[in-house]
Structure 1
Amino acid sequence: MGQDAKKQGKEENLMPILEHIGELRKRLIAILLVVFVGLIIGLVAANPVYNYLMAQEPVNGLPLHTFSYWDGIGIYMKIAFIVALVLALPFTLFQVWSFVKPALEEKEQGAALRYIPFALLMLLLGFAFSYFVVFPMAYNFTTSVSERLGLVETYGVVQYFSFLFNIVIPISLMFELPLVIMFLTKLRILNPLRLRKMRRLAYFLMVVIGTFITPPDVISDLMVAVPLILLYEFSVFLSSIVYRKQLEKDAAWEEEFNSLQNT
């Protein structure tokens, strides 16, 4: 009898876990389907996007070369994949929200849902900052070094776009930091106290990122590292707002609970 009860208890504990895994699997499949549809749209949009990028400074008028038969296809696929990720981002965040929705209260559900359009906005701001500010600095620095050395500039299309994407994509993703921190604070995984303790480490990482993706000169490094540090501080500020509301709510609940006990 005791063994049967233990077995039944284990099965009851296992069922919610299996249900969560099944729910997660469904949402991942839905996300992959949307990414696939976005990839098809991206393949259609790849040529206009490529033409737009090639018409902008600093590459405007600069001939790019292919050194492999697959270079052109590779560029098409990279552009299409980035377009697919941008298009799929709102749906992906909605699926994440739907998955954690049962763990949130009604007000928190609405607040978390409002993050989705802002996530897309922050990603686009990151694209703009990295493409129009950081990338020209890095490009001008590398070409100036080549000129000093008397080198003939012969660029491959793969090398150019790899150089571009390696700068644009990481910075764009970093612009999601405030929303990620706010969301984790809502879930009580992070709080501003912990973030302030991590400040030195965070500053160090921001400087490393700024140094890694920009030319090796102090001004360029600061022009990237300082906005990233400000982004982190803005994230801490937003986290403190969410955390303060949570404390006020907890205090109100505790006061109400104590008053009910006294009666």
Structure 2
Amino acid sequence: MDRDMSVEEHLGELRRRIIWVLATFVIMLALGLWLAKGAFDYLQSIPPAADLPLHAFSPWSGVRVYMQFGFILAAAGTMPVVLYQVWAFFKEGLLEREREATIRYIPLSILLFLVGLAFAYFVVFKMALYFTTTVNRKMMLEETYGITEYFSFMLNILLPVSLLFELPVVIMFLTRLRIVTPRRLQRMRKYAYFALVFIGTVITPPDLISDLIVAIPLIVLYEISVFLSGAVDRKIRASEARGSLAR
């Protein structure tokens, strides 16, 4: 995004980048549909699905889950391209040093997403499923899981938690663009804590231990974001000071 470009030129560039993203998604969707069966078989072979017989309650259950897996794999494969296109759109408004710094956010964001995905599946999802199974057994209910309901329940936990782990990268990028500042993040701390605890309460079983297991890592992520925002802000100020002295 060049500061000297007209509005029409900005819109034209944005359109080209969106087309790149959509074209990548179509290619990744074809690949995702090809890999969907393998991903489905893998998730069925490991706990907790390995211990649960899954059933199809409608003729479309298998098709729906298969398509879900294909689209999710396509979205995951497209994410690096989306991040690069966002960076490329804004890069002309950044200094050379800032461009080099922000391009590093792309591999970091992918790493954090994968860490969040692992945390969501092996900690949050397993806790939530254990809680629901325990309640069902106490109520003397026979558990019969539909394949659609099981994987929808899983994805409704995995995707939000994985995206929350992107918080440090988002904050660093917004700090580079001067949209947020460390001081503002510090002032918002109590509201952020409340929001993160609320999210942890919503996506976990209603007991204190489970809530804390999820809320504490989210709060730590916020504090890491504040720290990184401060580091980025100090670098920006130091760079501006050197530029002023040079003039």
Higher relative contact order (CA 8 A, sep 6+): 2
In the other structure, the counterpart of 1:165 is 155
Mean Cα deviation higher: 156-165 or 67-76:
67-76
Question: 1:89 Cα deviation (Å)?
Answer: 0.9
What secondary structure is seen at the aligned counterpart in 2 of 1:60? helix
What RMSD in Å do the two structures reach over aligned CA positions? 1.1
Structure 2 stretches lacking a partner, 5+ long: none
Equivalent position amino acid for 1:168 in 2: L
Mean Cα deviation higher: 136-145 or 77-86:
77-86
Report the structure number with the largest CA radius of gyration: 1
Q: How many residues align?
A: 243
Percent identity, please: 52
Question: 1:230 Cα deviation (Å)?
Answer: 0.3
Question: 1:254 Cα deviation (Å)?
Answer: 2.9
| 1:77-100 per-position Cα deviation (integer Å, ceiling 9, x unaligned) | 111111111111111111111100
Equivalent positions of 1:212-251 (< 5 A) are: 212-251=202-241
In the other structure, the counterpart of 1:191 is 181
Please, what TM-score do these two structures have when normalized by structure 2? 0.96
Question: 1:68 Cα deviation (Å)?
Answer: 1.4
Question: 1:245 Cα deviation (Å)?
Answer: 1.0
Counterpart check, 1:254 vs 2:244: yes
In the other structure, the counterpart of 2:44 is 54
Counterpart check, 1:177 vs 2:131: no
Counterpart check, 1:105 vs 2:103: no
CA distance in 1: counterparts of 2:121 and 2:185, whole angstroms: 29
CA distance in 1: counterparts of 2:101 and 2:246, whole angstroms: 24
Equivalent positions of 1:1-263 (< 5 A) are: 16-257=6-247
CA distance in 1: counterparts of 2:29 and 2:13, whole angstroms: 24
| 1:20-43 per-position Cα deviation (integer Å, ceiling 9, x unaligned) | 011101101110111111111110
What secondary structure is seen at the aligned counterpart in 1 of 2:50? coil
Question: 1:204 Cα deviation (Å)?
Answer: 0.9
Question: 1:110 Cα deviation (Å)?
Answer: 1.0
Question: 1:253 Cα deviation (Å)?
Answer: 2.6
CA distance in 2: counterparts of 1:26 and 1:255, whole angstroms: 40
Question: 1:185 Cα deviation (Å)?
Answer: 0.6
Mean Cα deviation higher: 65-74 or 229-238:
65-74
Please, what TM-score do these two structures have when normalized by structure 1? 0.90
In the other structure, the counterpart of 1:5 is none
Equivalent position amino acid for 1:109 in 2: R
